[in-house]
Amino acid sequence: MRAGFRDSPKWGMLFWEGDQMVSWQRNDGIKSSVVGLLSSGISGYAFNHSDIGGYCTVNLPIVKYNRSEELLLRWMELNSFTIVFRTHEVSKIPAIVIHLSS
């Protein structure tokens, strides 16, 4: 979760995991989303979600993180169990942003 304090679940209705990379990485990709969702749920933040497919892309000459179709599909499967089913536009790659309630 990006920001919060002890009483946040009392005052906030919906929480968000923050900006994950569009990758499979354990520390900042889809795997970090799983850890964040489980940890926040145990801590009392029951209504929590992450952006389907991640948020941040990197297009440098040496390092590139672009969302793959496989990653997007797996993230959709993961978020089908969360309170919000929301994709996010990634940088300047054309995308359809869909807001649906699960």
Domain boundaries, the chain: 8-101
Specify the range with the lowest mean pLDDT, choosing from 10-14, 28-32, 79-83, 95-99. 95-99
pLDDT at 90: 59
Residue 69 Cα distances to 43, 52, 53, 54, 76, angstroms: 32, 12, 9, 12, 11
The 10s digit of each residue's pLDDT in 7-32 is 888 888 888 888 888 888 888 888 99
pLDDT at 27: 87
